[in-house]
Amino acid sequence: MKPTLFLLAAGMGSRYGGLKQLDGLGPNGETIMDYSIYDAIKAGFGKIVWVIRRDFEQQFREQILSKYEDKIPCELCFQGLDALPEGFSVPEGRVKPWGTNHAVLMGKDVIKEPFCVINCDDFYGRDAFMTIGKFLSNLPEGSQNKYAMVGFRCCNTLSENGSVARGVCVYDDNHHLTDVVERTEIMRIDGTISFKDEQGEWQPLEENVPVSMNMWGFTPDYFAHSEAYFKEFLSNPKNIENLKAEFFIPLMVNKLINDGTSTVEVLDTTSKWFGVTYAADRQGTVDRIAQLIAYGVYPEKLF
């Protein structure tokens, strides 16, 4: 069974200052997600699913979905504040979405095969899709609890225009993930990659330490785990009182690996990430896409 590509497209880019998922960066208005989808099709993925918000559904259908519907099966699902398990309601005053793993949960009714989750505003590169596509395609039919993530080399994921947030990965001798430590400020300082620790001090980080760029490989049983844990998350008074508390993918993954329920293989890639974390990143991204076209990696017109 061919794997599915599941794109998280419900968020607004607050640091970027706009709806960057729909920003045309290629020579014919291609978005970053267009390049991801092109790479995924090349890597053997058989279906595309997006999770978006209802309020830009029409724009999304016209600008994005229409390009693919005659090329590969496509589905939309929707993330909303009130998409909660039975018996739970939105806390008064909450306006922030429930986070990336809540967004993943929205795909449970349309995804029945192994799937890869990615962000729409990150450029992952061909090798990353080939790597995760091979892992998912080689899973035995009915496989459960054997997941993967693409661990990008930290040096390949930095922005020249400010710090970035990355999940720094720790793994065992079998390349199974043992922990993901969220570092919200990583940047190169005087030539050395550094992160700001809990005391506000800058600490060095190895050039090739694997970091999560939210490129995960799961099987459909992941939805049941997520649904059960989301109920626990919503039952914790701290998460109700904190109107910005979020149900992140690494939170779910850490629980599964710490409980011994699942394994997550850390897959290495030579791909170099780039994206538009900041508005100032935009021109650099346009230039790098143009360079890849010049090198023949992508055609000038994707679709």
Arithmetic mean of pLDDT over the chain: 91
- pLDDT band (50, 70, 90) for residue 12: very low
| pLDDT recorded at residue 21 | 59
pLDDT (0 to 100) of residue 237 = 95
Q: Is the pLDDT of residue 9 over 60?
A: yes
Q: What region, left, alpha or beta, does residue 40 occupy, with left being phi > 0 and alpha being psi -120 to 50 degrees?
A: alpha
Give pLDDT, residue 41: 96
Instruction: Between 89 and 275, name the one with better pLDDT.
Output: 89
Element (H, E) at 153: strand 146-153
Tokens matching residue 101 = 């793993």
Long-range contacts of 296-300 (CB under 8 A, 24+ apart): 297/126, 298/35, 298/38, 300/27, 300/28
Confidence bin at 13 (pLDDT 50/70/90): very low
pTM for this prediction: 0.91
The pLDDT assigned to 20 comes to 55
Q: At residue 67, what is the residue type?
A: K
pLDDT digits (tens, 9 = 90+) for 230-266: 999 999 999 999 999 999 998 999 999 999 999 999 9
- For the segment 190-217, the average pLDDT, to the nearest whole number, is 95
Q: Where do the DSSP E strands lie in 67-145?
A: 74-78, 115-119, 122-123
| pLDDT cut 90: percent of the chain above it | 73
pLDDT confidence tier of residue 17, bands split at 50, 70 and 90 = very low
Beta bridge partners of 186: 164, 195
- Supply the pLDDT for residue 114: 98
Q: What local confidence, expressed as pLDDT, does residue 133 receive?
A: 98
147-163: average pLDDT: 93
Task: Give pLDDT tens digits for 117-150.
Answer: 999 888 999 999 999 999 999 999 999 999 999 9
CA dist 103 and 153 (Å) reads: 26
Q: Per-residue pLDDT for 109 more than 90?
A: yes
Tell me the pLDDT tens digit for each residue of 73-94: 999 999 999 999 999 999 999 9
Mean pLDDT, residues 33-40: 94
